[in-house]
Chains A and B, each alone.
Chain A
Amino acid sequence: MLLLNLLLQIDEDPQKYLLLQSFLPEPPPVRAILGKNIMQAVWEDMKRTLLPSWITPVPHNWGTAKRGKLSADNWLVIFIIHLPITLIRLWGNETGRKHELLANLMHLASASSIVIMHSSREEQILAFGHHIFRYIDGIKKLFPDQRLRPVHHAALHLGDLMDLFGPVHSRSGFFFERYINFFHRINTNQKLGMCSHPSHLRGSKTFFQVKWSQLS
């Protein structure tokens, strides 16, 4: 009964209502950086960009619900090619937060461009370390309410790994995909059960084994 009376008093008195509302946490700020206009500009620039044949083009309507998820390679192409071209064009002369966001993105683009190379040198590792550190430092400043993710931590170690083990492609997922593809391309003659070793070729006789048996 007491609670009901209290609620009635709040409903009747707007000042009490406002006072109570002030205790509620504020809704999260709108974080849309790439709005409709920016995305439209990116898509327009993509149409006018001529890429080498070894780069897989990104879907023309990326970022829409209709297109759905993108592959890791698509995101890489977006971040090192399409976003820098459009955002520097639009925000290159801006000051303030937009410029800081752009600079932060370019640190990520620089780090990504360096880390995907098929060779690694000391100067390259130093440059990567410079850019990835600036990028992650920028996240903390630009989005103070956001917590860093484990992937950010992992990215900071990529320079060390390049120093120890060389370019990243030798231990990335693509490396294993390449070997799966290699196994798919091994020639067989459908003579099952004639191969005992190695285990992944068990059940088929390879072209190389046929050639070897002919020679010996």
Chain B
Amino acid sequence: MKMSTRAANLRGILSDDDAVRDTVNEMLSTIESIEKEDIRGFRRASMLDPASPECASDANGKPFKLDGEPYQLLCDHIRLTSPLAPLPDPHCLAMKRIGIRGVSYGTWSSPAFRDSNIIFHLRGPSHLNEDLKHTHRAGRVEAVFQHIGLKTFYLIVREHQLLDPATDPADVFRQFGFAGGYLCKRDPTSMHILEVSQVVSHFALTEMREEGYEHLIHVLPLDRVSYQISKISPQNLAYKHLS
């Protein structure tokens, strides 16, 4: 009770007194990060609150210069929407996690690696003609950054490739629709750069150990916020052999 009272008094002072806020500026970010932590039962409220921003990130992004393949992908991504736009500035802010519509996503190399496995959808001319069931992909978040000039958040993702029917074993999971998940290649390969709106959900990753399946992982999309996961394989929503 004493601790709660002291915390309440401190919060009151910090919210009102600008002089105190200036003095303990370093402490504020820590307190704010504690406040943002998931409080039992309140995450859902923040997910569904229409007033809350679409995405929230770490306050302390580290400046870095984007180069190599990620920068080329960013240029391509921006040219897709505005072909005449000049090349973007490579200076960005790197962060370890980002909250999208109340759901937290982290990078593979950070302590938040459990939140780095994501289902996403691709966007662009090369994917427009693809079958609908293949527009959703599974991948691993390698980096999260905010472009300083554009003020836009991006995720760099490496994709787990879908199975090749010619060379890979049959996927027994697909017959059960979105609740059964599907198999993908274990090692993530091709890199994509995503806007936050392209992120669909997390997935549960299970490494396969059976003979002939060692190079594969099982992907089970997990989403409680929207119904987008059912679009991964709409033709399998109802079981063909049981209906």
Contact A109 B41 (CB under 8 A): no
Check: B79 CB closer than 8 A to any chain A CB. no
Asked if A52 meets B41 with Cβ closer than 8 Å, knowing A118-B47, A119-B227, A189-B5, the reply is no
Interface centre among A113, A116, A188 (most CB of B within 10 A): A113
Contact B41 A177 (CB under 8 A): yes
Is the interface on chain A under 10, 10 to 19, 20 to 34, or 35 or more residues?
A: 35 or more
Nearest neighbor of A93 in chain B, beta-carbon distance? B172
Contact B205 A50 (CB under 8 A): yes
Q: How far is the CB of A204 from chain B (nearest CB, A)?
A: 10
Within B20-36, the residues touching A (CB, 8 Å) are none
Which segment of A2-10, A28-36, A82-90, A153-161 sits at the interface?
A: A82-90
Contact of B242 among A55, A89, A103, A109 (CB under 8 A): A103
Nearest neighbor of B11 in chain A, beta-carbon distance? A187
Complex CA distance for A164 and B234, rounded to whole angstroms: 25
Which segment of B85-93, B127-135, B144-152, B216-224 sits at the interface?
A: B216-224
Contact B4 A80 (CB under 8 A): no
> Contacts of B238 on A, CB cut-off 8 Å?
127, 130
Nearest neighbor of A181 in chain B, beta-carbon distance? B41
> Contacts of A178 on B, CB cut-off 8 Å?
40-42, 44-45
Q: How far is the CB of A189 from chain B (nearest CB, A)?
A: 6
Nearest neighbor of B210 in chain A, beta-carbon distance? A89
Main secondary structure on B side of the interface with A:
mixed
Which segment of B57-65, B111-119, B188-196 sits at the interface?
A: B111-119
Check: A121 CB closer than 8 A to any chain B CB. yes
Contact B225 A189 (CB under 8 A): no
Q: How far is the CB of B4 from chain A (nearest CB, A)?
A: 7
Check: B39 CB closer than 8 A to any chain A CB. yes
Check: A39 CB closer than 8 A to any chain B CB. no
Main secondary structure on A side of the interface with B:
helix
Check: A185 CB closer than 8 A to any chain B CB. yes
Check: A13 CB closer than 8 A to any chain B CB. no
Check: A92 CB closer than 8 A to any chain B CB. yes
Complex CA distance for A80 and B12, rounded to whole angstroms: 44
Which segment of B67-75, B157-165, B174-182 sits at the interface?
A: B174-182
B215-243 vs A, CB cutoff 8 Å, 1 = contact: the mask equals 00010101111110010000001110010
Check: A132 CB closer than 8 A to any chain B CB. no
Nearest neighbor of B221 in chain A, beta-carbon distance? A113
Check: B109 CB closer than 8 A to any chain A CB. no
Q: How far is the CB of A124 from chain B (nearest CB, A)?
A: 5
Contact of A117 among B41, B103, B202, B227 (CB under 8 A): B227
> Contacts of B230 on A, CB cut-off 8 Å?
114, 123-124, 127
Contact B222 A55 (CB under 8 A): yes
Q: How far is the CB of B65 from chain A (nearest CB, A)?
A: 30
Within A135-178, the residues touching B (CB, 8 Å) are 169, 174, 177-178
Q: Could you tell me which B residues sit within 8 Å of A by CB distance? A: 1, 4-5, 7-9, 11-12, 38-45, 47-48, 103-104, 112, 114-115, 117, 172-173, 175-181, 202, 204-210, 218, 220, 222-227, 230, 237-239, 242
In the complex, besides A88-B180, A121-B227, A187-B8, 4 extra interface pairs with C-beta distance below 8 angstroms are A45-B206, A52-B114, A81-B222, A114-B230
Listed by A's residue number, 8 A-B pairs whose Cβ atoms lie within 8 Å are: A53-B112, A54-B115, A84-B180, A89-B172, A89-B173, A103-B242, A117-B223, A182-B42
